[in-house]
């Protein structure tokens, strides 16, 4: 039996130890949880105490504000009553003062009224004399008005003459400017023109010009531009005179052979390019084909005449100056 019991105890001892270990672990976990909860409870209690204290402070503040409001309301009521009483007293004093001043003024007005009656008679006499003086002044005013009307009429006439003189001066200045523009020499941007005409290098050109200084200057500029563009000047005559029967037109004539150009003949398109460059420099040109036998292929004839409209503008200027001289003689005393 003893042996059996010993074995039995030996068999049950490990199970008892296992249960005891599990109980200890559970107790430790519960202890840890209890400690955590206790810490949370303390934290909540601390904030609850602060919240209670804050609530008490706010309640006290509300009470103090209500008490102060009641005291101030009572003080305000008393002050309003005092203000009303003072205003009533002030109104009574003002009414009494106004009445006193009114009585004084009534007395003064009565005294002044008696004096006014005395002065009224004097005023009537003065009014009679004033009426006589007014009639005299009215007559003087009518005379002055007639004189002013005559002066204004003279001023209007002088203003019209001045306006006419200004208009004639403006017309003369405009004519002078037109004459200066008409008589100014024709100018060519030779560098730009030569650059644009280089694509027709090798084109032959004949230059003829009227025997005139400005026309010679224009022809010289055209020849410079064509030379820089490598055009070949094969003919030159700067002494053409209309008296010898030559048919020269004003402006610049650019001529090519009549008929359909032969293959490889670029004279026509070269002439158009030259005409475009002269037009870009505000130089008027005309193009007239001539007899095809007169010009060989790839040849352009350039004729430089007088600047267009110059003679017409000179005649216009002479006419204006003649009328101006007649007007000046007319206005001379």
Segment 278-292 shows an average pLDDT of: 81
Mean pLDDT of 105-117: 78
Give the model confidence (pLDDT) of 66-82 as tens digits: 787 778 777 877 887 88
Q: Which of the pair, 141 or 327, is modelled with greater confidence?
A: 141
Distance CA 267, CA 289 (A): 11
What pLDDT digit, counting tens, does each position of 145-199 carry? 988 988 988 888 888 888 888 888 888 788 777 777 767 789 999 999 999 999 9
Domain spans of the chain?
187-306
- Give residue 222's Cα distance to chain centre: 45
d(CA 283, CA 218): 9
- Any idea what the Cα angle at residue 239 is, between residues 236 and 245, rounded to 5°? 110
End-to-end CA distance of the chain: 181
Arithmetic mean of pLDDT, 303-319 = 68
| pLDDT at residue number 21 | 60
CA 253-256-262 angle, to 5 degrees, is: 165
Q: Which of 221, 187, 206, 189 is nearest to 270 (CA)?
A: 206
Residue predicted with more confidence, 92 or 243: 92
Cα angle 59, 65, 67; round to 5:
105
The two three-digit tokens of residue 84, written as one number: 């009303």
Fold classification of 187-306 (topology level):
Alpha-Beta Plaits (3.30.70)
pLDDT mean across residues, the chain: 80
For residue 246, the model assigns a pLDDT of: 60
| Number of Cβ atoms within 10 Å of the Cβ of 301 | 21
**Any bridge partners for residue 119, and if so which?**
none
Instruction: Compute the average pLDDT of residues 6-14.
Output: 46
- Round to whole Å and give the CA distance between 150 and 147: 5
Digit-coded pLDDT (tens) for 119-150: 887 878 888 888 888 888 988 989 999 889 88
Are 256 and 311 within 8 A, CB to CB? Answer: no
User: Poorest-confidence range of 12-21, 226-235, 280-289?
Assistant: 12-21
pLDDT of residue 301: 93
pLDDT given at position 188? 93
What's the pTM? 0.44
Tokens of 320: 């204006």
Higher local confidence (pLDDT), 19 or 206: 206
Q: What is the 3-state secondary structure (H, E, C) of the chain?
A: CHHHHHHHHHHHHHHHHHHHHHHHHHHHHHHHHHHHHHHHHHHHHHHHHHHHHHHHHHHHHHHHHHHHHHHHHHHHHHHHHHHHHHHHHHHHHHHHHHHHHHHHHHHHHHHHHHHHHHHHHHHHHHHHHHHHHHHHHHHHHHHHHHHHHHHHHHHHHHHHHHHHHHHHHHHHHHHHHHHHHHHCCCCCCHHHHHHHHHHHCCCEEEEEEECCHHHHHHHHHHHHHHHHCCCEEEEEEEEECHHHCCCCCCCEEEECECCCCCCCCCHHHHHHHHHHHHHHCCCCEEECCECCCCCCCCEEEEEECCCCCHHHHHHHHHHHHHHHHHHHHHHCC
The pLDDT tens digits for 192-230 are 999 999 999 999 999 999 888 889 999 999 999 999 999
């Amino acid at each position: 039996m003893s042996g059996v019991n010993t074995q039995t105890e030996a068999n049950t001892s490990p199970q008892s130890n296992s249960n005891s270990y599990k109980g200890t672990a559970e107790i430790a976990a519960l202890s840890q949880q209890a400690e955590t909860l206790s810490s949370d409870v303390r934290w909540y209690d601390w904030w609850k105490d602060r919240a209670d204290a804050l609530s008490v402070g706010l309640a006290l503040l509300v009470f103090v504000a209500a008490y102060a409001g009641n005291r101030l309301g009572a003080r305000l009521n008393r002050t309003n009553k005092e203000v009303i009483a003072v205003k009533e007293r002030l109104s009574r004093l003002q009414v009494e003062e106004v009445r006193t001043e009114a009585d004084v003024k009534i007395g003064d007005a009565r005294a002044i009224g008696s004096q006014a009656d005395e002065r009224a008679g004097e005023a009537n006499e003065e009014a009679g004399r004033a009426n006589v003086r007014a009639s005299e002044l009215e007559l003087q005013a009518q005379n002055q008005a007639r004189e002013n009307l005559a002066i204004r009429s003279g001023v209007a006439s002088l203003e019209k003459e001045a306006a006419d003189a200004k208009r004639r001066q403006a017309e003369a200045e405009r004519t002078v400017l037109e004459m200066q523009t008409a008589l100014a020499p024709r100018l060519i941007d030779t560098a730009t023109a030569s650059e644009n005409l280089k694509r027709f290098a090798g084109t032959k050109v004949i230059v003829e010009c009227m025997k005139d200084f400005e026309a010679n200057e224009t022809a010289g500029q055209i020849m410079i531009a064509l030379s820089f563009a490598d055009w070949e000047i094969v003919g030159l005559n700067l002494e053409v005179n209309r008296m010898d029967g030559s048919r020269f037109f004003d402006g610049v004539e650019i001529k090519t052979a009549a008929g359909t150009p032969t293959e490889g003949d670029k004279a026509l398109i070269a002439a158009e390019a030259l005409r475009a460059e002269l037009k870009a420099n505000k130089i008027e040109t005309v193009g007239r084909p001539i007899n095809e036998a007169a010009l060989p292929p790839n040849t352009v004839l350039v004729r430089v005449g007088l600047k267009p409209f110059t003679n017409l503008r000179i005649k216009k200027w002479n006419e204006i100056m003649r009328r101006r001289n007649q007007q000046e003689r007319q206005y001379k005393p």
